[in-house]
Chains A and B, each alone.
Chain A
Amino acid sequence: MRLIQGNEACAEGAIAAGCRFFAGYPISPSSEIAEAMARMLPRHGGVFLQAEDELASLGAVLGAALGGTKAMTATSGPGFSLMQEHIGYGYLAEIPCVVVDVMRGGPSTGLPTQPSQGDVMQAQWGSHGDRAAVVLAPVGVQEVYDLTIQAFGLSETLRMPVTLLFDEVVGHMREGVDLAMDDPMTFGGRPRPSQPAGPSFRPYKANAAGVAELPDFGRGYRFHVTGLMHDERGFPTTDTSVVAALLERLENKAQAAKELVTPETYLMDDATLVLVAYGITGRTAKAAVDALRSRGIRAGLWRPRLLWPVQDEMLRGALQNAEMVVVAEMNRGQWAREVERVTTGSAILRPLLVAGGATITTEEMVGHVLDALEAPGIASPDRVSRGGTGPYANRSSAGAVALESKVVE
């Protein structure tokens, strides 16, 4: 058990997972990850590279990964924006790597350094084109360590970039952490080619899991890797059916993450009021559940560790008996949209959206829920209401009572 910072736990988890290459560019509030990697990697026979910018950081990471090394970079919002093209590249070319985004307030240079959960949508939709992201969201320092290891497992197994998304509070707070995961290699690792080298070798022929079995560079196989749409040989193609099949395969393989990462549920068995929150917000939400229970409200928490792809069926099942769902997040309504999509009107939605650099306190959550329960229309769970000044403004369905969701500026 060691008392360390979230960012340091991320570096520790990376080393434990076998990461031996890190390239990064200084940016708050993620810089401690780079600093820790700079100290630790040489001891483990790895390489740390301070790059000239975030584009170079992720480019170098992808190059190192193709050479056969587990590799990672870490950044915050502005740098995450710059990395988007390379995240798309790694996805299409099927190169495993881990990208850490320690969120701060945005857009633009935004709020260095105060917390935010504003990059949730960007983590899925930031790159151009159709792309299925795998994004993990740890709640505290121990989980940063554990999920960093899992991120490498997912990335290697699925051969794709995996994003670890947490915020400034999780990155900077210190907690006691058990730096020994029972089995850090719970995943199968990077798929290796089952075909022999030679002219008929097809690097992008997928295995049963829909994952390409690329060899590392310089191991007796000669093959082409490109960010262009490609066929099984890795050669550029504009054949519409080949391209469509490729996009479908890549999207499908990412869905495996849904089965491999479990959400945290708390007092959900009889809950009719469900708080949905992730990251540091999931932590205050858990305390809010206790506070609401002490007032006789059957509250529960559903906290996703996997933000993307959304575990639709799991979430829908968890919320089927809920009369009211409160999504609390430090933005103006991002994952709340996904919950809205999944519940399709089965419960009243009352998001608590806090953007501006403040965390959401337990007291705010409890107050928000109590206000919501006192509002008219709550007794009829079949009447769906959505409100607020964010993306939910004036979108209540016909006949429903419009409820103002609380937006703390």
Chain B
Amino acid sequence: MSTVMDTDTAVHGAAGGSVAITGKEKRLLRHAMMPHMLCPGCGHGIVLDAMLSVLSERYEDLDNVAFVAGIGCSSRIIGYIDACTLHTAHGRPLSFATGLKLARPDLTVVVITGDGDGLSIGGNHLIHAARRNVDLTCVLLNNEIYGMTGGQAAPTTVLGAYTSTTPLGNTQHPFDAAELAKAAGATFVARSQSYRPQVFGELFSQALDHVGFSFLEVMSDCTEYFGRTNRFGEGADMLMGQARYEPSIDADLARIPTVEPVTIKQPVRPVLPIGVLHRSSRLTLEETLGIEGGRSSGVADGKLDDAVQRMDG
């Protein structure tokens, strides 16, 4: 029952256009950056709140946690976190984050990206970060549209949906971000929603704990463009629409509350599983490079010398 109550709080906060900040997570906010630029009803604030809640349980301060983001509404939320925050170029946060992590393996690096940023212009970096299994946590906020530029179709926009660049309905098939990350080699893949902040918190926590590339997709709603154009209602209506998602059958989901799927009038949006979708274990990029505490140990065992000798003939 607590889930319902908390969800209500989140809904209320979202509909009011404010982030529902209570208690400990407040100290992790960068107050000087306020007021925030998210629209009323946007789901991203709920995600930020849930993220700060998890972080406040783990850290006294965020001196050793770096947040790296790209361009778009989702990426902007790092500006409100009192940490080392790096707002990079469109689509490139995983590149910057990979360099930062390899140079400073002592830091926890969290990448915040969106569906346009991470799957379209930055899609190549996503699959390669997953392939390398670099020890990062990547949170992709999926609102199925380009919000910041005024509501154009995204690589996640479902077939038939109306956007400013698909006035006759979207003609391109969408990506399944989680499946893509899994196929590319991510060793932790999960999907969550702004509708269930507690579930997000649990999955975000697991993603942070995971050693290797963890990918967490979060379904979040754009009320101003996607919602309005497709007549999905206001923020609260769209949140309730997320109830259609079914939990996956992953064993980890025993902890995740089940919510009865709600039938909505927009059949174009598919029912996607939430929860932990994939978990595996293999060497991280740091391990294959022999990086320990910022130092490469690849020389110690003579492997490199042998290799160079081989190449030099």
**A-B complex is real:** yes
Q: Smallest distance from the beta carbon of A9 to chain B beta carbons, Å? A: 18
Pair B102/A47 contact, Cβ less than 8 Å? yes
Contacts of A228 in B (CB 8 A): 87
Q: Does B79 contact A (CB under 8 A)?
A: yes
Enumerate A40-62 residues with CB–CB distance to B below 8 Å.
Answer: 41-43, 45-47, 49, 51-53, 55-62
Q: CA A233 – CA B85 in complex, angstroms?
A: 12
B175 interface contact, C-beta 8 A: no
A42 to B306, CA, bound (A): 13
For residue B84, which residue of chain A has the nearest CB? A217
Q: Specify which of A59, A63, A221, A236 lies most central, judged by the most chain B CB atoms within 10 Å of its CB.
A: A63
A217 B66 Cβ-Cβ under 8 A: yes
**Are A42 and B103 in contact (CB-based, < 8 A)?**
no
Q: Are B86 and A63 in contact (CB under 8 A)?
A: yes
Question: Which of A23, A43, A56, A223 is in CB contact (< 8 Å) with B299?
Answer: A43
A218 pairs with B99, CB closer than 8 A: no
| Of A60, A68, A221, the contact of B96 (CB 8 Å cutoff) | A60
A interface, by DSSP: helix, strand, loop or mixed?
mixed
Q: Which residues of A contact B92 (CB under 8 A)?
A: 55-56, 59, 86
Residues of B within 8 Å of A63, CB to CB, are 68, 86, 95-101, 103
| Cβ of B293 to closest chain A Cβ, rounded Å | 10
Please tell me if the beta carbons of B87 and A42 are within 8 angstroms of each other in the complex.
Answer: no
Asked if A45 and B296 make an inter-chain contact with CB atoms under 8 angstroms apart, the answer reads: yes
Q: Could you tell me if A217 and B304 are in contact, using CB atoms closer than 8 angstroms? A: no
Q: Which of A53, A69, A89, A226 contacts B103 (CB 8 A)?
A: A69
A residues near B128, Cβ cutoff 8 Å: 51-52, 56
Given A39-B308, A217-B86, A222-B62, CB of A199 within 8 Å of CB of B100: no
The one of B61, B96, B99 that contacts A49, using a Cβ cutoff of 8 Å: B99
Partner of A59, one of B88, B101, B311: B88
Q: Nearest chain-A residue to B106 (Cβ)?
A: A218
Does B16 touch A at the CB level, under 8 Å? no
Tell me the smallest distance from the CB of A239 to a CB of chain B, in Å: 15
Is chain B's interface secondary structure helix, strand, loop, or mixed overall? Answer: mixed
By CB atoms of chain A within 10 A, which of B85, B92, B94, B125 has the most? B92
Q: A59-B96, A235-B79 are in contact. Are A227 and B103 (CB under 8 A)?
A: no
Partner of B290, one of A39, A42, A71, A89: A42
Interface string of B221-256 (1 = CB under 8 A from A): 000000000000000000000000000000000000
B-chain residues with CB within 8 Å of residue A221 when the two chains form the complex: 84
Asked if B89 is at the interface of the complex by the 8 Å CB criterion, the answer is yes
Contact between B107 and A217 (Cβ–Cβ < 8 Å)?
A: yes
Known A39-B311, A42-B296; further 8 A-B contacts with Cβ < 8 A: A46-B296, A51-B128, A63-B68, A64-B99, A218-B64, A218-B66, A220-B63, A224-B33
CB pair B124 A60 closer than 8 Å: no
Query: From residue A93, how far is it (CB to closest CB) to chain B in Å?
Result: 8
CB closest residue in chain B, given A59: B95
Q: Which of B11-45 contact A (CB under 8 A)?
A: 30, 32-33
Count B interface residues, CB 8 Å.
46
Report chain A residues within 8 Å CB of B61: 222
State how many angstroms separate the Cβ of A94 from the closest Cβ of chain B.
13
Residue of A nearest to B312 (CB): A39
Cα-based distance from A342 to B81 in the complex (angstroms) = 49
Residues of chain B whose beta carbon lies under 8 Å from any beta carbon of chain A? 30, 32-33, 61-64, 66, 68, 79, 82-89, 91-92, 94-104, 106-107, 124-125, 128, 289-291, 295-296, 298-299, 304, 308, 311
Interface core residue of A68, A89, A217, A221 (most chain B CB under 10 Å): A217
A21 at interface, CB cutoff 8 A: yes
Query: Which of A45, A52, A60 touches B99 (beta carbons < 8 Å)?
Result: A60
Per-residue contact bits, chain A 67-85, to B (CB 8 Å; 1 contact, 0 not): 1110100000000000001
Partner of A47, one of B94, B97, B291, B299: B291
Most buried by B among A21, A47, A49, A51: A47
A4 at interface (Cβ–Cβ under 8 A)?
no
The answer to whether B87 and A225 have CB atoms under 8 Å apart is yes
Which chain B residues lie closer than 8 Å to A319 at the CB level? none
Distance between A202 CB and nearest chain B CB, rounded to angstroms:
11
Which of these, B82, B91, B101, B103, contacts A68 with CB under 8 Å? B103
Which of A46, A53, A67 gathers the greatest number of chain B CB atoms within 10 Å? A67
A53 & B124 in contact (Cβ 8 Å cutoff): yes
Once bound together, how far apart are the Cα atoms of A53 and B124, in whole Å?
9
- List the A residue with the shortest CB-CB distance to B101: A63
A222 touches B63 (CB 8 A): yes
Which residues in A have their C-beta under 8 angstroms from that of B290?
42
Cβ-defined partner of A60 (8 Å) among B62, B66, B95 = B95
Given the complex of chains A and B, what is the CA–CA distance between A42 and B88 in angstroms? 28
Q: Which residues of B contact A20 (CB under 8 A)?
A: 103
Check if A136 is an interface residue, CB within 8 A of chain B.
no
Quote the shortest CB–CB distance from B303 to chain A (angstroms).
Answer: 9
> Are B102 and A56 interface neighbours, CB within 8 A?
no
Decide if A45 touches B85 in the complex (CB within 8 Å): no
Contact of A273 with B by CB under 8 A:
no
